[in-house]
């Protein structure tokens, strides 16, 4: 099965989006989120959305925990969410978690396109410790940098070329293909969540933008310029690490620790003890983000203009303000729903939910841009 087909292609037999629309299903480590969109009169319309916690599908599990479900339980959870959200679309896009994939950028000499394919295969073996026969691999040449000289746009061609590589274990696709048979879809495809997040979070920004996805199991950092992914970095700490730190420090149950994390965050005026535990837990993430910012500025000779936050843990109270202060960069939450029409009374709800639904929205949005 060709990886590019899996990630980017849908059968040309699509029905009219006016009839069916598209559904995006973001299968995370602790929650599944779903969004259904369609196009009406040239405008994208939000039809329905929803989420479901995976923790309760494990014995003695609770919402917020990372769940390690077998295929049967995961299928059950997705089916329940499809029913609860009243999904009617027959065309679905499913996310491949960043934790189940590998994204990296390699430098290669300027060689012919024919030679490039072999060079990529050889180079990626340095990054992937398993046989290439066990993974689905795709790659894209990153466009050359463009600069203005007077009124003219020039393409900078200097040094090596940069190639963006994405790899996913075949067993992930096998598991998903096993599940999809139980879902009411006629057509489906897959996309690594990072690319869905970028699609829904950006509009037409020209200056470099950093997107930070604070997930339960980890944090992903991407720098995008002119729609091109320039840097990607994964940090192995996320929301679960913070909840566990509070649980151990205060010697309380997981559910109470999760609630305190969501309600207090970095707000010392609410509870200085909890805020300090979270700040300590965030220090490693803060330092890694700073390093990525510094590396980008050193390599590309220009600063990041804005930071956009996505993911459930991005909603921690005072996190946005803390990051803006630390890096002196305008920082805001992703608002994917701004790309669609919806009832006015949902404005505040959807704005607050935006960071958590960036991936699901981006999945459904890819054929409606």
Q: Do 52 and 27 contact (CB within 8 A), yes or no?
A: no
3-state secondary structure of 221: strand
Question: What is the token pair recorded at 250?
Answer: 């205060």
E strand or H helix that includes residue 213: strand 209-214
Q: Residue 96 CB: number of other CB atoms within 10 A? A: 24
Bridge partner list, 191: 95
Residue 149 pLDDT grade (very low, low, confident, very high; cuts 50, 70, 90): very low
Q: How confident is the prediction for the chain on average, in pLDDT?
A: 88
The yes-or-no verdict on residue 101 having pLDDT over 60 is yes
The yes-or-no verdict on residue 155 having pLDDT over 50 is no
pLDDT, average across residues 135-150:
74
Q: Are strands 91-96 and 146-149 parallel, antiparallel or unpaired?
A: unpaired
pLDDT tens per residue, range 260-314: 999 999 999 999 999 999 999 999 999 999 999 999 999 999 999 999 999 999 9
Mean pLDDT lowest among 97-106, 303-312, 323-332: 97-106
The DSSP secondary-structure symbol of 341 reads: B
Q: Does domain 3-365 have CATH number 1.10.8.60?
A: no
Residue ranges of domains in the chain = 3-365
CA distance 333 to 197: 12
Helices 254-264 and 239-250 meet at what angle, rounded to 10? Answer: 110
pLDDT, average across residues 156-166:
76
Question: What is the token pair recorded at 141?
Answer: 């040449």
- Between 17 and 103, the more confident residue is 103
Q: Do 368 and 42 contact (CB within 8 A), yes or no?
A: no
């Amino acid at each position: 099965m060709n990886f590019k087909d899996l990630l980017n292609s849908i059968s040309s037999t699509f029905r009219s989006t006016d009839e069916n629309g598209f559904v995006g299903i973001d299968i995370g480590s602790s929650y599944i989120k779903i969004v259904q969109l369609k196009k009406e009169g040239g405008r994208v319309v939000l039809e329905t959305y929803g989420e479901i916690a995976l923790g309760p599908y494990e014995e003695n599990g609770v919402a917020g925990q990372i769940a390690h479900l077998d295929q049967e339980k995961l299928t059950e959870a997705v089916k329940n969410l499809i029913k609860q959200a009243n999904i009617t679309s027959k065309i679905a896009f499913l996310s491949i978690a960043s934790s189940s994939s590998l994204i990296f950028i390699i430098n290669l000499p300027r060689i012919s396109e024919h030679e490039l394919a072999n060079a990529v295969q050889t180079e990626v073996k340095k990054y992937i410790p398993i046989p290439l026969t066990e993974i689905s691999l795709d790659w894209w040449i990153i466009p050359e940098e463009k600069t203005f000289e007077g009124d003219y746009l020039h393409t900078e061609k200097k040094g090596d070329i940069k190639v963006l590589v994405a790899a996913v274990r075949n067993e992930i696709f096998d598991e998903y293909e096993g599940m999809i048979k139980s879902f009411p879809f006629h057509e489906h495809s897959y996309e690594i969540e990072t690319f869905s997040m970028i699609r829904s979070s950006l509009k037409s920004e020209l200056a470099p933008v950093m997107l930070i996805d604070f997930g339960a199991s980890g944090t992903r950092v991407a720098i995008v310029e002119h729609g091109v992914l320039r840097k990607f970095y994964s940090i192995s700490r996320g929301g679960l690490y913070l909840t566990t730190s509070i649980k151990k420090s205060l010697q309380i149950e997981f559910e109470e620790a999760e609630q305190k994390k969501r309600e207090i965050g970095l707000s010392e005026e609410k509870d200085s003890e909890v805020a300090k535990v979270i700040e300590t837990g965030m220090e490693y993430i803060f330092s890694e983000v700073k390093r990525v910012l510094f590396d980008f500025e050193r390599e590309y000779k220009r600063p990041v203009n804005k930071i956009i936050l996505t993911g459930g843990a991005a909603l921690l109270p005072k996190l946005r303000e803390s990051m803006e202060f630390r890096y002196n960069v305008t920082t805001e939450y992703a608002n994917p729903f701004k790309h669609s029409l919806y009832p006015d009374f949902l404005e505040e709800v959807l704005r607050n939910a935006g960071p958590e639904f960036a991936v699901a929205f981006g999945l459904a949005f890819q054929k409606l841009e």
